[in-house]
């Protein structure tokens, strides 16, 4: 019995030991992994800090070089003399230890003046400056090509004390009016550039300038200590050369093992408590989200029930998936009767329009977005009543940004149509009343516009009678006078017809007329009044003008009105020289328009008169009716143009209006 129990226990024992061994191995592997990861993390942190320090050091060196360049440029400000230049260069060398020599050279690289650092013996005393003349020539040629500062590669200079110095040259071309007049050469000490980085950066690192193969040119910092080396290299790109800044740091291996178990247990305990807290917080958030969702659904349901706008949602196959109560009330069907409908013909489509609506639905389901302002359609109520609706549709997008159908909004526009019909009827009544008022307006316009041709007929008739009374006449003179009377009578008839059409707001007959012909038509009447008032008429016509599209009679009347107003404005005793200028040219603002202008040299228009100059029945003349300028502006605006006026220095007024240009004359 015991033997059988022992035989049964031994396999279970080995199985349990195997499980514990596996668990122990898993824990050890986890601990070793944690230690290894902690070491890697510590090493990466050290390397990152070293990279940042190297980048900061490169930035500091570049800033120092830029500041030195600005100071060197300031040496040449104001074309200094040799004594002043030497004094300022020596002061700069005393302030900037990394500069060991500054030279002023002409355009053939001959030294005009130089200054050396006071902190060390002269750098080139042992071999002489001419031994590195090739370096200076090369870097200055590079600076000349770059039209800016250039740096040479570093080279070693032995000194008289048995030591040496790694230096590099910087050449700055001195140009005047784009021509290089000389060069400013500065010699940098690489060792002093590193010394100026500060003790806080070099206390735990070794900083050096190196060549591409790793040879150190200058070193600054503590010597090697510790068992692990961390290195970072950054390039210092300068015009003409590139230096490599290397930063080395020595650290011992991270000693984390004694704290790993404590940290692991603490971390697991904190993680367990945090998980419980997060679970409790997540549960509270879920409950709150469910309550908020229920409130939002109730709010949306109340809002949809209160809408008078019908809402309908369809899937991509055209089946109705949602309708609100307003839509159901609009068409007279319940939601149960409408849901799932729409693949063939919904019950609210009029049978006579079903084919047209089906084609429109196919176009919509194909992905064509309807117009944003919507479109009108006709629906059928359950009792068979047709009514107009305005439909506004938009794609239905789910939370993943995928279109799942179309959402439509419906507005019953029966009341809107009824209001429009009432408004249309009211407008027709107003138009009938306005036509009655037009009769009085036509009488006023005819009396105003017929004054000029009738006055011309009377003048020609009086002249003819004088010729007959004097007996000194010829048939040609009488025939010319009768011809002028016939022209003015015909003009009076055209005025009556044009004013009649103008009052009735019909489309007047537009024709392409050369601007010269418009002026020629009014010149006889203008000259007649000009001779009476002692006015000199000047015509300025730009060359190569196209025709203008206008109602000839009405535009001639506008020109005649403006010309008569201008001559009457100059009919004052104090104005001795009276000139009226009629000018035609292309509009400076738009070549598609022709600009007419009528300018006088009268006293101008007072500000209080200018404010109501175009007001109907406003006039400053005792015999005037106040309709001339108002009619002129209306005629020009009917042609699409604009009539304006402005002062004409030193005195006078100019009226301008535009007419659309036609084909070439």
To the nearest 10 degrees (0 to 180), the angle between helices 628-638 and 414-449 is 130
Q: Is it the case that residue 222 has pLDDT exceeding 50?
A: yes
CA distance 303 to 311: 12
Q: Is the model's pLDDT at 424 over the cut of 80?
A: no
What number is the average pLDDT over the span 499-513?
63
Q: What is the CA radius of gyration of the chain?
A: 51
> For residue 214, what pLDDT is reported?
74
Q: Which 3 state secondary structure label does DSSP give 617?
A: coil
d(CA 197, CA 354): 86
CB 97 within 8 A of CB 117: yes
Buried b (16+ CB within 10 A) or exposed e, 368-402: eebeeebeebebbeeeeeeeebbbbbeebeeeeee
Secondary-structure breakdown of the chain: helix, strand, coil percentages, each rounded to the nearest 5:
50, 25, 25
Residue 273 is predicted with a pLDDT of 67
Q: Model confidence over 458-479: pLDDT tens digits?
A: 777 887 777 777 766 677 777 7
> Residue 427's pLDDT band (boundaries 50, 70, 90)?
low
Length of the chain (residues): 665
Structure token digits, residue 498: 């044009």
> 643 pLDDT exceeds 80?
yes
Distance CA 493, CA 450 (A): 9
The most confident of the ranges 123-127, 301-305, 496-500 is 123-127
With a cut of 50, say whether residue 198 has pLDDT above it: yes
Q: Residue 5 — pLDDT band, cuts 50, 70, 90?
A: very low
Residue of 139, 205, 198 whose CA lies nearest to 168:
139
Helix (H, G, I), strand (E, B) or coil at 578: coil
Q: With 70 as the cut, is the pLDDT of residue 633 above it?
A: yes
Q: What pLDDT shows up at residue 444?
A: 56
E strand or H helix at 583: strand 579-586
* DSSP tag of 618: -
pLDDT surpassing 70 at residue 31: no
Least confident of 5-14, 83-92, 104-113: 5-14
Confidence of residue 2 (pLDDT cuts 50, 70, 90): very low
Two tokens at 274?
Answer: 């945090």
Kindly state the percentage of the chain with pLDDT values over 90: 6
Residue 248: strand, helix, or coil: strand
Mean pLDDT of the chain: 78
This prediction's pTM? 0.38
Distances (CA, A) of 528 to 68, 452, 479, 541: 87, 12, 19, 21
pLDDT at 22 over 70: no
pLDDT at 526: 83
- Give 512: exposed, middle or buried? Use CB within 10 Å, 0-12, 13-18, 19+: middle
Q: Is-contact 558 636, C-beta < 8 A?
A: yes
- Mean of the pLDDT values across residues 601-629? 71
Q: What is the pLDDT of residue 256?
A: 47
Best-predicted range by mean pLDDT (9-23, 37-51, 140-154, 621-635): 140-154
pLDDT at 32 over 70: no
Which secondary-structure segment (H or E) carries 456?
helix 451-470
Query: Which of 229-233, 524-528, 570-574, 614-618 is least confident?
Result: 614-618
Question: Which among 480, 641, 439 is positioned nearest to 559, based on CA atoms?
Answer: 641
* pLDDT at res. 434: 45
| Res 548: pLDDT | 92
Question: Residue written as tokens 């009792």?
Answer: 383
Per DSSP, the three-state class of 233 is: strand
- Summarised one tens digit per residue, pLDDT across range 536-588 is 999 999 988 899 999 888 888 889 888 988 888 888 888 888 899 999 999 88
CA 520/CA 526 separation, integer angstroms: 10
Cα–Cα separations (whole angstroms), residue 230 to 45, 236, 250: 11, 20, 6
* Nearest CA-CA partner of 599 in 631, 640, 569: 569
Phi then psi for residue 423, to 5 deg, are -65, -40
Tens digit of each residue's pLDDT (9 = 90 or more) over 508-535: 568 889 999 988 888 877 887 788 888 9
Q: Closest by alpha carbon to 206, among 41, 60, 57, 42?
A: 57
Sequence-ordered alpha helix ranges (H) in 179-256: 190-195, 199-202
Cβ–Cβ under 8 Å, residues 595 and 656: yes
> In this predicted model, what pLDDT tens digit does every residue of 365-420 receive, in sequence order?
776 666 666 778 888 888 888 888 888 888 888 878 888 888 888 888 888 888 88
What SS3 state is found at 406? strand
Q: How far apart are CA 261 and CA 268, in angstroms?
A: 10
Over residues 267-275, mean pLDDT: 69
């Amino acid at each position: 019995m015991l033997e059988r129990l022992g035989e049964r226990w031994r396999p279970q024992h080995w199985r349990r030991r195997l499980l514990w061994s596996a668990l122990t191995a898993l824990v050890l592997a986890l601990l070793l992994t944690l230690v290894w990861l902690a070491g890697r993390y510590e090493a990466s942190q050290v390397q990152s800090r070293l990279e940042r320090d190297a980048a900061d050091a490169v930035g500091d060196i570049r800033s120092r070089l830029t500041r030195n360049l600005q100071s060197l440029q300031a040496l040449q400000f104001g074309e200094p003399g040799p004594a002043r230049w030497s004094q300022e260069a020596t002061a700069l060398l005393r302030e900037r230890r990394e500069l060991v020599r500054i030279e002023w050279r002409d355009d053939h690289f001959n030294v005009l003046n130089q200054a050396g650092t006071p902190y060390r013996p002269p750098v080139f005393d042992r071999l002489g400056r001419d031994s590195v003349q090739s370096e200076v020539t090369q870097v200055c040629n590079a600076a000349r090509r770059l039209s800016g500062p250039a740096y040479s590669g570093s080279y070693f200079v032995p000194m008289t004390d048995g030591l040496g110095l790694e230096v590099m040259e910087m050449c700055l071309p001195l140009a005047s009016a784009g021509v290089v007049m000389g060069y400013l050469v500065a010699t940098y000490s690489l060792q002093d550039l590193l010394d100026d980085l500060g003790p806080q950066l070099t206390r735990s690192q070794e900083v050096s300038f190196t060549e591409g193969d790793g040879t150190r040119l200058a070193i600054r910092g503590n010597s090697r200590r510790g068992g692990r080396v961390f290195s970072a290299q950054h390039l210092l790109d300068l015009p003409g050369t590139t230096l490599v800044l290397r930063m080395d740091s020595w650290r011992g291996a991270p000693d984390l093992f004694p704290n790993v178990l404590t940290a692991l247990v603490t971390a697991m305990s904190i993680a367990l408590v945090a998980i419980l807290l997060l679970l409790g917080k997540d549960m509270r958030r879920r409950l709150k989200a469910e309550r908020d969702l229920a409130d939002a659904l109730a709010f949306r349901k109340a809002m949809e029930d209160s809408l008078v706008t019908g809402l309908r949602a369809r899937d991509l196959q055209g089946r109705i998936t949602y309708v609100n109560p307003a839509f159901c009330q609009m068409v007279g069907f319940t939601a149960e009767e409408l849901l799932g409908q729409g693949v063939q013909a919904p019950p609210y489509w009029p049978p006579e329009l079903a084919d047209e609506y089906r084609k429109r639905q196919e176009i919509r389901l194909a992905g064509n977005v309807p117009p944003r302002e919507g479109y009108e359609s006709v629906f059928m109520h359950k009792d068979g009543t047709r009514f107009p609706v305005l439909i506004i549709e938009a794609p239905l997008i789910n939370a993943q940004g995928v279109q799942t159908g179309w959402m439509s909004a419906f507005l019953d526009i029966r009341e809107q149509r009824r209001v429009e019909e009432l408004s249309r009827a009211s407008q027709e009544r107003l138009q009938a009343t306005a036509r009655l008022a037009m009769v009085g307006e036509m009488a006023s316009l005819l009396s105003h516009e017929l004054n000029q041709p009738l006055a011309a007929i009377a003048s020609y008739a009086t002249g003819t009678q004088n010729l007959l009374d004097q007996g000194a006449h010829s048939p040609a003179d009488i025939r010319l006078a009768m011809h002028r009377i016939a022209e003015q009578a015909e003009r009076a008839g055209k005025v009556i017809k044009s004013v009649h059409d103008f009052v009735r707001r019909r489309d007047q007959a537009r024709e392409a007329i050369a601007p010269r012909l418009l002026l020629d038509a009014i010149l006889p009447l203008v000259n007649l009044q000009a001779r009476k008032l002692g006015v000199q008429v000047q015509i300025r016509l730009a060359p190569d003008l196209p025709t203008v599209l206008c109602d000839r009679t009405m535009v001639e009347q506008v020109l005649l009105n403006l010309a008569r107003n201008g001559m009457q404005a100059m009919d004052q005793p104090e104005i001795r020289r009276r000139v009226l200028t009629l000018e035609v040219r292309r509009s400076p603002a738009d070549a598609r328009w022709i600009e007419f202008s009528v300018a006088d040299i009268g006293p101008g228009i007072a500000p209080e008169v200018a404010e109501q100059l175009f007001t109907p029945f406003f006039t400053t003349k005792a015999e005037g009716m106040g309709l001339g300028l108002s009619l002129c502006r209306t005629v020009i605006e009917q042609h699409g143009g604009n009539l304006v006026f402005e002062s004409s220095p030193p005195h006078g007024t100019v009226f301008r209006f535009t007419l659309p240009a036609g084909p070439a004359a």
